[in-house]
Amino acid sequence: MKRRFTHIMAALAAAGSALAVPAMAEGPTTADIMNDANTPGDVISYGMGPWQQRFSTLDKLNSTNVSKLVPAFAASLGGEKQRGQESQPIVYDGTIYVTGSYSRVFAFDAKTGEKKWEYNARLPDGIMPCCDVVNRGAAIHGDKIIFATLDARLIALNRENGKVIWNKKIGDYQAGYSATAAPIIVKDMVITGNSGGEFGIVGAVEARNVDTGELVWHRPTIEGHMGTLNGQDNGITGKTNATWEGDLWKTGGGATWLGGTYDPGTNLVYFGTGNPAPWNSHLRPGDNLYTSSTLAIDADTGKIKWHYQTTPHDGWDFDGVNEFIPFDAKMGGKNMKLGAKADRNGFFYVLDRTNGKLMGAHKFVMQTTWADSIDLKTGRPNFTEGGRPGAPSGAEKGEVVFSSPSFLGGKNWMPMAYSQDTELFYIPSNDWGMDIWNEPIAYKKGAAYLGAGFTIKPIAEDHIGALRAMDPKTGKIVWEYKNPAPLWGGVLATRGNLVFTGTPEGYLKAFDAKTGQELWKFQTGSGVVGSPVTWEQDGEQYVAVMSGWGGAVPLWGGEVAKTFKEISQGGMLWVFKLNN
């Protein structure tokens, strides 16, 4: 009897899985990924939907019961590679996929936390990445998990077993290219940016066939460079020498190191571009397009539809890579298709996402010394006189200019979230400035050089980090949470009136989305610099985040370093649910 019962159970289980598996075995399609924001049972894109609003419609976990949130399990990334976990988990078909620092991918069982497989990219010896060894996340499509490596390759793994399906070089690491951003999936293409610290690189956005990794289109971000579509020339970017002199455009910078977002409605991908090169802005008069900008690129053709430059003629190393997040709202009595970007330069920009027209620009940090406002008519900053670091003379230490935000930005890489309920953006920001001067005693490649000296310093007594709730329509900061150490992790908002973010001090924290009241925190054992996600599984709501201090901040130091000198490194995935 007992035996027979077992058989029946086995048969039922088999039947159940036979029914469930085929649907999942194919893996998520582009349509599924486009619909990610509406399917709370999984997380199948970076940012939880193509707009990357990082908003979940789940409300089982909410501001009234979040105090009962407890760990379900934790999983280690193991080994000696315990630093810099900036990844966002992907959750699909009972598996949590995370990328780790040092170009690794892990698959964990979403119920138990047991490791299913691990992939370690083999990195070349001579590689020295400029800004730590992080990776920000993977993309999932069909049978594949796709991620980028520190030696500038894009690798597609079989999501069931971690075996390589294809592996493509997307840049020459020996020429200084690297890759750390999460790829995005658009129309069966995988779209990536590029990154590199070394002088001489040129930013680009590229689309590849998701099944083969073959290049579909390539769009350089600096004017004068030729784009391609299906192997054919596809027009140059901008107009050669319009905003650059001489041949400086050939090595103009503008790396797209943070990846991009996509709006299915306009069929545009939005990528932010990095700062221009060389660092000394006096050597490159002009706006230096399209550096420190947001580019809207047609997803089918790779042509630039519009651009908006947040920092023309960037002389502060501000960069403009920050995510541009589409959202719909009523502005001036009209339903508008908008997008928002909290820039390194300290201003929060709202643009019409169909044409790039500036609708609003507001400070989201305590202080901006380089410009006091943005001209809404021209879309250009009103620069502050004397706010630009001087030209180096080579003779003596130049005048010290205080500049705020520091070059690490009012907001760095860490993504903000938008709640469709409160209609607020939640911005992980930092209040810090820098002293910057010309450094006559500088050397590069063993030769004399004209460098810049700088010291980053806090500008407030009680905090550097500040999570701010910004009303995009008015620019009003509705609430703020101040944190002693700089914030360096992503944000998650939910229908349960909750906002989650991590702190370098090791906490994952939950706040009331309307008031900013801190409702819950949990100590993960190392700094949290990853992006949290939430999903529903077996009728319960889960929250997951990576813990592992690292990223660019600990590489700098100065006065700021005092706020995190006691923080240990780590490498753990933490998963939480309600203690019922």
By the criterion CB under 8 A, which residues form the site for another protein? Answer: 102, 123, 125-130, 132-133, 150, 174, 176, 197-200, 245-248, 250-251, 277-278, 280, 282-283, 285, 391-395, 441-451
Q: Which is nearer to another protein, 125 or 538 (CB)?
A: 125
242: left (phi over 0), alpha (psi -120 to 50) or beta: alpha
Q: Which is nearer to another protein, 190 or 452 (CB)?
A: 452
Least Å distance, CB 488 to another protein, is 17
Q: From the centroid of its chain, how far is CA 312?
A: 22
Q: Which is nearer to another protein, 40 or 390 (CB)?
A: 390
Q: Assess contact for 304 and 289: CB atoms under 8 A.
A: no
Binding residues: 86, 136, 180, 198, 275, 317, 412-413
Least Å distance, CB 127 to another protein, is 5
Q: Assess contact for 47 and 415: CB atoms under 8 A.
A: yes
- Which residue among the candidates 317, 319, 343, 431 is catalytic per the annotation? 317
Least Å distance, CB 251 to another protein, is 6
The closest alpha carbon to 486, from 531, 436, 546, 527, belongs to 527
268, β-bridge pairs: 263, 298
Q: Assess contact for 66 and 513: CB atoms under 8 A.
A: no
Q: Assess contact for 304 and 295: CB atoms under 8 A.
A: yes
Least Å distance, CB 553 to another protein, is 15
Beta-carbon count within 10 A of 365 CB: 24
Least Å distance, CB 292 to another protein, is 18
**Burial degree of 480 (CB within 10 A; 0-12, 13-18, 19+):** middle
- The question of whether 151 is a catalytic residue gets the answer no
Q: Assess contact for 489 and 467: CB atoms under 8 A.
A: no
Least Å distance, CB 19 to another protein, is 46
**Burial degree of 51 (CB within 10 A; 0-12, 13-18, 19+):** buried
The closest alpha carbon to 210, from 150, 162, 280, 157, belongs to 157
Beta-carbon count within 10 A of 395 CB: 8
Q: Which is nearer to another protein, 197 or 387 (CB)?
A: 197
Q: Which is nearer to another protein, 277 or 477 (CB)?
A: 277
Binding residues for Ca(2+): 198, 275, 317
Provide the token pair at 573.
């995935």
Beta-carbon count within 10 A of 382 CB: 10
Q: Which is nearer to another protein, 3 or 445 (CB)?
A: 445
Least Å distance, CB 389 to another protein, is 14
Least Å distance, CB 120 to another protein, is 12
494, β-bridge pairs: 56, 498
The amino acid that residue 560 corresponds to is V
DSSP 183-243: PEEETTEEEE--EE-STT-B-EEEEEETTT--EEEEEESSTTPEEEETTEEEEESS-TTSS
Q: Which is nearer to another protein, 511 or 564 (CB)?
A: 564
Q: Which is nearer to another protein, 387 or 451 (CB)?
A: 451
Beta strands 401-403 and 491-494: pairing type? unpaired
Binding residues for pyrroloquinoline quinone: 86, 136, 180, 412-413
Angstrom distances, CA of residue 436 to CA of 285, 322, 393: 20, 23, 15
Q: Assess contact for 78 and 104: CB atoms under 8 A.
A: no
Which active-site residues does the annotation give? 317
